[in-house]
Amino acid sequence: MTEPLLSVRDLRVSYQVGRSKVHAVDGASFDVPVGSITGLVGESGCGKTTVARALTRVIAENAAITGGRMLFDGKDLASLPERDMNALRWRDIAFIPQSAMNSLDPVYTVEYQLAEVLRRRGGLGRKAARERSEALFEMVGIDPGRLTDYPHQFSGGMRQRVAIALALALDPKLIIADEPVTALDVIVQRQILDQLKDLQERLGLSVILVTHDISVVAYICDRTVVMYAGKVAEAGSTVATLNRPSHPYTMGLRNAFPDLAGAASGVLTPIEGAPPNLADPPLGCRFAARCPFALPVCATEPPTVLVEPDHPVACHRADEAAALRIQAANTETWVAS
């Protein structure tokens, strides 16, 4: 991989809840290459949104970044003074929050909300902001005549396009989109993803796409980062990660989702059980309680090994991945004994 745009190393983020700490991100490392889409995927609660928000440093009041580095364009976002970080937001890094389509302000027109970003953040005058808003609407496939509409006048899919237009407003280098197509029907999902891909290619953008749905990753992402219980289980090119998964969790996820492209994908096999409590995570491999391939050694922290260049896997049995993949393809492997 050429020099990545973003390099996250040993990131740690926790939430204070009463007297205990929820270790939502607990030593995550991954790279985001320039000019491509990186998918951050994993089950609900595995820490995806926490990573995404840590990258923008817009985190919950009870959250703290307690360790690690986030090197973006030569700067460590973890230690950048707030004033410099604020200057990066929207201009260099734009964030589309989870449920973005419901987070547009209902009392203002969409044009007003775009103008806020363009004028306040981008320093554009009224006329330039109007022209840019029209261009942005055209880019995301909405008639600029609808700029003066209020959010409730748009469908869910269109509101998501508006959220993408907002993110594109100041021509950022990196867009972080948190679950941009969740809650949309499959046809609209495909339209939005196709458009995101088209814009990413045309504008040479780098995108982090956060999703719980591995079929979305398979459909659109060049690179895949699989998270489990606050850690990165496996990362690599999407082709390598999904066609030749080396972590049992990735093998299980692949069996559990239908194919977004609509191809027959056979029987879906869920991974039984639930992720561990991140206020008191187990020692050793966090997937062990659900892993059909767990051995006694899995009670110790697994090493992260490279199964091929740019393809790290955190599993004691990564070198046996080819044999485990064959077993993982059998539904019975996943039925708890």
Question: Which residues in this chain contact ligand SF4 in the complex, by CB under 6 A?
Answer: 247-248, 285, 287-288, 291, 293-294, 298, 302, 315-317
What is the number of the residue whose Cβ is closest to Mg ion? Answer: 49
Q: Which is nearer to ligand SF4, 1 or 329 (CB)?
A: 329
Q: What is the largest CA-CA distance in the chain?
A: 67
Q: Which is nearer to ligand SF4, 1 or 295 (CB)?
A: 295
β-partners of residue 176 are 95, 208
End-to-end CA distance of the chain: 42
Nearest approach, Cβ of 61 to ligand SF4 (angstroms)? 34
What is the 3-state composition of the chain as percent helix, strand, coil, each rounded to the nearest 5? 40, 25, 40
Range 39-68, binding Mg ion (CB under 5 A)? 49
Residue type (1 letter), 287: F
Q: Which is nearer to ligand ATP, 6 or 51 (CB)?
A: 51
Q: Is residue 278 a contact point for ligand ATP (CB under 6 A)?
A: yes
Q: Is residue 211 a contact point for Mg ion (CB under 5 A)?
A: no
User: Per-residue x/- marks for ligand ATP, 91-130, CB under 6 A?
Assistant: -------x--------------------------------
Q: Is residue 45 a contact point for ligand ATP (CB under 6 A)?
A: yes
CA distance 163 to 161: 5
Rg of the chain over all Cα atoms, to the nearest angstrom: 20
**Under a CB-based contact definition with an 8 Å cutoff, are residues 80 and 132 in contact?**
no
- Total of chain residues touching ligand ATP, rule CB under 6 A: 17
CA distance 178 to 148: 26
Nearest approach, Cβ of 49 to Mg ion (angstroms)? 3
Nearest approach, Cβ of 278 to ligand ATP (angstroms)? 5
CA distance 78 to 285: 27
Q: Tell me which of ligand SF4, ligand ATP, Mg ion, none is bound by residue 251, counting a contact when its beta carbon lies within the kind-specific cut-off of 5 to 8 angstroms.
A: none
Q: Which is nearer to ligand SF4, 15 or 334 (CB)?
A: 334
**Under a CB-based contact definition with an 8 Å cutoff, are residues 141 and 158 in contact?**
no
Q: Is residue 15 a contact point for ligand ATP (CB under 6 A)?
A: yes
Nearest approach, Cβ of 76 to ligand SF4 (angstroms)? 30
**From 14-22, 116-124, 288-296, 316-324, span contacting ligand ATP (CB under 6 A):** 14-22
Nearest approach, Cβ of 304 to ligand SF4 (angstroms)? 11
Q: Backbone dihedral region of 131: left (phi > 0), alpha (psi from -120 to 50 degrees) or beta?
A: alpha
Beta strands in 58-183 (DSSP E): 63-72, 75-76, 93-96, 174-178
Nearest approach, Cβ of 282 to Mg ion (angstroms)? 22
User: Per-residue x/- marks for ligand ATP, 282-301, CB under 6 A?
Assistant: --------------------
Q: Which is nearer to ligand SF4, 94 or 288 (CB)?
A: 288
- Backbone φ and ψ of 232, nearest 5°: -90, 120
- Looking up tokens 């879906």 gives 268
CA distance 95 to 173: 11
Nearest approach, Cβ of 265 to ligand SF4 (angstroms)? 23
Residue from 2, 18, 19, 44 binding ligand ATP (CB under 6 A): 44
- The pair of structure tokens assigned to 298 is 């899995």
Q: Any residues with CB less than 8 A from the CB of 222 and at least 6 apart, and which?
A: 33, 36, 37, 38, 237, 238
Q: Any residues with CB less than 8 A from the CB of 203 and at least 6 apart, and which?
A: 168, 171
Interacting residues toward ligand ATP by CB under 6 A? 15, 17, 22, 24, 42, 44-50, 60, 62, 98, 212, 278
> Which residue ranges make up the site for Mg ion (CB under 5 A)?
49, 98
